[in-house]
Structures are given as C-alpha cells and as structure tokens.
Amino acid sequence: MPATVGDAIVANRFFLEFGGHQVSTLQEVSGLEDESDVLETDQMLAGGKYLNKKELGALPLKGGKLTLKYPAIKDDPIKKWYDLVVNQKMSEARTNLTLTLYDLLGAPTLAFDFSSAWPSKYSYSSFTVKSNDAVSITVTIEHTGMTVKGYNG
C-alpha cells in the first residue's frame, strides 16, 4: 500500500462551547483520550508454560478528565459553571461540551464532543512579584464519554 501524504492537523486554534457559552480564551487543553478497562489474568498451561492474557474489562470505555488552562477574565462562564457544582446543583451543572479545532483559514477540522461534562476542580495560578504574567486558571472537567468528528471518518 503506498504511503499517503497530507497536511498535519494544526492544534493551535481551538474554541470551547458548553451550555450555551462560548470560550475563546483557552491557552491549553489536555486529557483528550479514551481508555478501556483491561482484565489481566495469569494462567499456567500444560507443561508449565506461563500465559498472561489481556481482555476487555467490565467497562468498554471509561469517562475521562479534560484539563483547560486560560487567563482569568471577569464574568468567567466556567467559574459560574463550577459554582453550580459547589452549590450541589449537579443536574444543572452536567452539560455537553464541544471543543472545535480550526485550520489556518478558520474552517473547522475536528470536533471533540464530551457528554455529561462538569467541572470538578478550579484553581488559580501562583502569584509572584517577579512576574508580568496574567493570572491563569486551570480547570479539570469530568465527563462520561468523548466522540470525535472529522477524524478518520
């Protein structure tokens, strides 16, 4: 089979949407992964031969954690979202979330959809008198599953 040559997908232009809010100030996103549980068993076969067998575990796909980093802004919609969790309003807090990547011309190339997402951690950066950096926010988002649109399909 001949090798295919194509342009790499650029990962420096992205946009977040959740619960009717749009966040364009993101600086970094990590945790874009799917993981399956693995059941591992050790067996001894006839003749004393050892076998380590790995199979799909009880959960075919585990929910993950997404980490967002962005500069602190006034009227932060993610902080308001996190406050729903703090105030134990989980039915309001759980929402679907979409992270969209754009190409250099501004056309969408990939979309990551996360179901039943909610923020579990909201933290501020360190402060120092030696820095000219803006206050940075790091948020951990829990979710029950991720689907990807626009990649290999």
First to last CA, the chain: 19
Residue pLDDT, tens place only, 72-101: 999 999 999 999 999 999 999 999 999 999
Domain layout of the chain by residue ranges? 14-34+41-149
Nearest to 26 by CA among 83, 73, 60, 88: 73
pTM over 0.75: yes
| Band of pLDDT at residue 136, cut at 50, 70 and 90 | very high
- What residue spans of the chain are helical by DSSP H? 77-86, 90-93
CATH code for residues 14-34+41-149: 2.30.110.20
Q: How many Cβ atoms from other residues are within 10 Å of residue 68's Cβ?
A: 23
Average pLDDT over residues 99-120: 93
- The two structure tokens encoding residue 32: 């874009």
